[in-house]
Homo-oligomer: A and B are copies of this chain.
Amino acid sequence: MQVTIAVDAMGGDHGPPVTVAASLRFLDETPDARIVLVGNEDAIRKALAATHTAAAERVSVRPATEIVAMHEPPADALRRKKDSSMRVAINLVKDGAAQACVSAGNTGALMAISRFVLKTLPGIDRPAIASQLPTRKGVTTALDLGANVNCTPEQLLQFAVMGSALVAAVEGVERPRVGLLNIGEEDIKGNEVVKRAAELLKVSGLNFYGNVEGTDIYKGTTDVIVCDGFVGNVALKTSEGLALMLADFLREEFTRNVLRRVLALFALPVLNAFKRRVDPRRYNGATLIGLKAVVIKSHGSADALAFRYALKKAYAEVTHGVLARITQRLAATPVPAASAVAVTPVNFGDA
């Protein structure tokens, strides 16, 4: 299957040196993929010249004169920067010139422009941010990780449908177990939105496991974890912060004196194996799910390895037909109309 990915080459903290290098490396290992690099042509050509590979013939460059800044208000990026690398990349998907878009740029702008240009799938109120997290048993897919600070029960159900379809399509899990993130396992716990969402999930036809707690995320209790964007974002960022702190503490203990430094040399293969196992770069690439096309958000600070994983994710979602699967699941799921509870869109300012 021939897949073309539109890459916002200017997005993220590093721009073309990372996005272009990752694109070439990705094409090297994915013979039936093509990439359109969007952005400042000089910068892109320069980065292309730095790497010699036959895969370069599957790259094309689409100039764009503007760049969405990482902390720019999404509404400004949407209204004023019609020729930003991000906007042009998304337009390529809309026009059918590409099947997916990948950007490491401003999350809020990517969401706002994607919604405006691509629109949401029928039956979906608002897109969510979905991402894989490592667990003891493999991976779990959590959503929403920050697109919607207040969610209705019906939206949480939509997230569950989309998460299930994503996991079923890409990971081949026939009936993914869906957990509803809550602060206790009993039905009586949680707030009204979560309680009502549980009721909807029970009759949804999805493989609803029930309420799960924060500890269940990394236990791998379920294949899908559903929560509102505020809670999901806090859980994600708290995890990032804790992992970084623990990694630093471990490094500090192994470098406290000369003896320990020598020991660390011997322990290096073990420590590296440990590090690889939870390397966040391998999980890079969050799906803006619920749009009429595949849009993947890479972490802003992604290096070439991490950005390559985001490209692989876009490719996998296209080749596995995630969008069709979501549409099928939506059709098979009794999704009630959105309730009157207010939905507050998030105004992202950075990555």
Contact = CB atoms under 8 A, between A and B. Distances in A.
Contacts of A181: 234
A344 interface: yes
A3 to B, nearest CB: 33
A331 interface: no
A243 B247 CA distance: 11
Interface stretch (A36-44, A200-208, A212-220): A212-220
A183 interface: yes
Report whether over half of chain A's contact residues are helix, strand or loop; otherwise say mixed. Answer: helix
A189 B90 CA distance: 25
B214 A240 contact: yes
Interface stretch (A81-89, A273-281, A297-305): A273-281
A135 interface: yes
A201 B181 CA distance: 29
Interface stretch (A46-54, A262-270, A310-318): A262-270
- Interface footprint category on A: 35 or more
Task: Give the number of times this chain occurs in the complex, counting copies.
Answer: 2
B237 A146 contact: no
Interface in A241-267: 241-246, 248-250, 253-254, 256, 260, 263, 266-267
Interface in A130-170: 134-136, 146, 149-150
A166 to B, nearest CB: 21
Contacts of A267: 263, 267
A242 B136 CA distance: 10
Contacts of A256: 270, 273
Nearest to A134: B245
Contact of A248 (B136, B192, B216, B266): B136
Among A270, A273, A344, A347: residue with most chain B CB under 10 A = A270
A348 interface: yes
Interface of A: 73, 134-136, 146, 149-150, 181, 183-186, 188-192, 213-219, 227, 229-231, 233-246, 248-250, 253-254, 256, 260, 263, 266-267, 270-271, 273-274, 277-278, 344, 346-350
